[in-house]
Structure 1
Amino acid sequence: MQPRRLPCFYVPECKTMDVYLPDSPHLRNVIAILLGLMVSVIVVGTVEMVGHAAYPPPAGVDLEDPEQVQEMMANAPAPALLFVIAAWGLGLFAGVFVAAILGADQAGFCVSVLSLVFLSMVVMMLVQIPSPAWFSVGGIVILVPAGFAGWNLSQRLLNSWRFQREHAAASTEAEHHNAESIEEDGQDRTDA
């Protein structure tokens, strides 16, 4: 199994880290999709938690009672609902980014599966909890630019890593060629 070198952002002394991904493309796809979904869920939960802290639900609301949840959604201030839309957008952005990076060779497949699963979760939530029309439309529409932005960033990063890897390989090859030339010149001078 060959390691994939990824940048190491959280340790100042470390410029890259080795990440071992399985050689099987199918297993890599499954891992990429699952990790992308996990990251999506974590980001959505975190942003929604911030939204709930900024706009807490009314006291005494039973979140298990669908009628009370429906009334809460109908009376919720717009910024509270915008937090949910932002959470979905940021969650899909982060999930697509992770799935595309980990499923590098088959990133399109991984991102498509992740996006369809994420979209189905959003639609399921919108069907289960009736909400204002603008919220439903905004929740679906935000997914398109968020997904494309995550894809675009991942492809730029992958292309940058590929360029660095190719540049490093070319530099190493050039240094090796220069070393051989110097040795040949040294042998020519000693022969003469």
Structure 2
Amino acid sequence: MLRKILAVPAGLIAGIICITIIEKIGHQLYPPPAGAASGDMLAMKEYVAHAPFMALFFVIIGYALAAFVSGLTASKISNNGKHTAAVICGIVFLLITIYMMVSLPTPIWFWILGILVWGLVFAGSKLALKNKIHL
């Protein structure tokens, strides 16, 4: 029972770590203005509105990796042979992603990919359930 309870937070933490690492790499290559880094939402909106394609695509890459890793982690830890924990992680991340896309002026391609990539929780979950990967 404890494994089922801890599976979702573990999957979320694993996903957050993935997003953070990939976004930090993206910010090294495409640095946001100082105001955006300090939490100034107006500066962040201005940056996103004029950011190069790859600056935003790094966020999508982070989401995709996070979806896969969180699905794998949650399913492996829950160890119940079901996708439930992975799906919960995917839904939580999807809701956060939609909130961020509503808050910032993201282009339509970002909306499409930003929603679709969270389906990768199933790929991670399927791999965890199929293989004997030990976490």
TM-score for both structures, normalised by structure 1: 0.64
Stretches of 4+ moved more than 3 A in 1?
A: 60-63
Unaligned stretches of 5+ in structure 1?
1-24, 162-192
After the TM superposition, which residues 140-159 of structure 1 pair with which residues of structure 2 at under 5 Å, given as runs?
140-144=115-119, 146-158=120-132
Larger helix share, 1 or 2: 2
Unaligned stretches of 5+ in structure 2?
none
d(CA) in 2 for partners of 1:130, 1:56 = 18
Q: Which residue of 1 aligns with 2:76?
A: 101
**CA distance 1:106–1:155, change in 2 (3 Å):** closer
d(CA) in 2 for partners of 1:118, 1:157 = 25
Q: CA RMSD in A?
A: 1.8
Structure with bigger gyration radius: 1
Letter in 2 for 1:105: N
Deviation at 1:106, TM superposition (A): 5.2
Q: Kindly indicate whether structure 1 or structure 2 has the higher relative contact order, using CA contacts under 8 Å at least 6 residues apart.
A: 2
Aligned residues: 133
Q: Which residue of 1 aligns with 2:100?
A: 125
Which whole-Å deviations, capped at 9, do the CAs of 1:63-100 have from their partners, x for residues lacking one?
42322211110110001111000101101110110011
What percentage of residue pairs aligned between the two structures are identical?
31
Letter in 2 for 1:156: K
Matched position secondary structure for 1:57: coil
For the pair 1:76 / 2:51, whether they are aligned, the reply is yes
d(CA) in 2 for partners of 1:122, 1:157 = 29
Deviation at 1:133, TM superposition (A): 1.5
